[in-house]
Amino acid sequence: MANGRYEAGQSLNDYVDMLHSIYGSTQNYAKTKADVYQHLAEVCGIAGKHLFKKNDLETAARFIPKIFGWACALISAVSPAQTNSEDIILRKFPGVCPYCTARPCSCWAAEKPTLNEKSLENHFYRNAPRQARGINDLELMFAEIYGHTWTGPDGSQDPIRYIYLRLIEELAEVSEALRFQHIYPQNFQNEIADLFGWWFALASVIRSRRVDDTLTSELLWKSYPGHCLDCDTAPCFCAQGPVRELMSKPAPGALGETDRLTSLRNQGAYEHDIEAYQTLNLKLAFPAACVRMDVDDFKKVNDGYGHPAGDAALKHISSVIRQKCRPRDRIYRISGDEFGVLMPDTSVDEAYGVMRRVVSALKATQVIWTSQDGVSTSFPISMSIGVAECADGSSIKAAFEAADAASYVSKEGGKARVSKAPFDGQQE
């Protein structure tokens, strides 16, 4: 679980919060509202292709969670303060049709009455506190209000086709609301509520037609089980977008966790991550390798070439570590010349191989530093490295301590080498 409180039967607000905690600071950190909307439009379109062009209900069903996930991401992008998503829906649909204020709706086949905002507000305060807010509960609410309308005005249309067309219509309304949000900021909430309404309808009908009659909450949880399915971790450790990877820029809001010189995660982030994984607040794929690295003879660099040259050496080292580690590995500058790496789903032998490549790359490439007067100097740099393995979150701190001790073994053994810690992954 992402922070120990997420589960399959959770509320809509919890899903929005969970998805933001997993992907917001990594995969979605640089995406604008328009970017997120484009992803939402894409997955809606792909779902339609499988529904109607390929007649593949099972594949289409896999895109139901994706539509939901990007709709939640859009709410987070528009309202970074995490607007109450449940209230957005229930203010528009407070257990009744917003136009005739009936359940089931009695006005759907005729001209819609004028929306009475005062009456709608009264229904919200009367009904919303009692409304269960789980995914299945909200799906049931929409089915009870509008289920009899899902075959179209004449009652003869295929519900999936009719609902999907209405979903796409609302997708267009959301686009318009985004374009004019600076003029009518509240209209986005109105339109996203409508979009969710038709999403719940589509999920309900598709679920009823599948051989595997999985509840919608279970379908969502299979796609978003409190962590990223690809890297089995929360927050997501997957490769970042190419712009961020090339620029090595921290995500907005992560400056306090980022080392200013190298753009690696800093000592505070290192300590926070160890504590979080050790107390089981975050999910990590085990076994995990813990690596500690110490620059050899760094004082000689600072004394012989000056501190600016030392800074250039640290940047060079950071670049080499990034190149040899996977994007999903977390790399830290722990102190002045000490580094660490947390490698999920990695054995001590695998980490040993990666760190050997780091040592080789440092031997093959010297640091190039240009002084303020334009004189270029090159000099070698090396590191002594220790690696250890941990089997679960409770032993992660001990594994890093063992790796640190192993780095001293490397230093005492001649420097520029890697040592495995004699550590069995269990906390003593």
In terms of pLDDT, which residue wins out, 108 or 261? 261
CA atoms within 13 A on the CB side of 233: 24
Pairing of strands 288-295, 383-390: antiparallel
**Per-residue model confidence as pLDDT tens digits over 290-330:** 999 999 999 999 999 999 999 999 999 999 999 899 878 99
CB atoms within 10 A of CB 37: 21
Q: Which residue has the tokens 């961020």?
A: 244
- Angle, helices 63-78 vs 33-48, to 10°: value is 160
What mean pLDDT is reported for the chain?
Answer: 89
Q: How far apart are the first and last CA of the chain?
A: 26
- Comparing CA positions, the residue from 238, 154, 250, 150 lying closest to residue 201 is 150
**Per-residue model confidence as pLDDT tens digits over 159-201:** 999 999 999 999 999 999 999 988 998 899 999 999 999 999 9
Tokens representing 47? Answer: 């779902």
3-state secondary structure at position 226: coil
Q: At 241, is the pLDDT very low, low, confident or very high (cuts 50, 70, 90)?
A: very low
pLDDT at 2 (0 to 100): 41
CB atoms within 10 A of CB 244: 17
Query: What residues contact 231, with CB distance under 8 A and at least 6 apart?
Result: 237, 238, 285, 328, 344, 345
- Residue 388: beta bridge partners? 290
Helices of type H across 110-254:
117-127, 135-146, 159-179, 187-209, 216-223, 242-247
Average pLDDT over residues 276-285: 78
30 within 8 A of 241, measured Cβ to Cβ: yes
Tokens representing 65? Answer: 């969670």
Average pLDDT over residues 214-227: 93
Tokens representing 167? Answer: 């979903």
pLDDT at 121 (0 to 100): 94
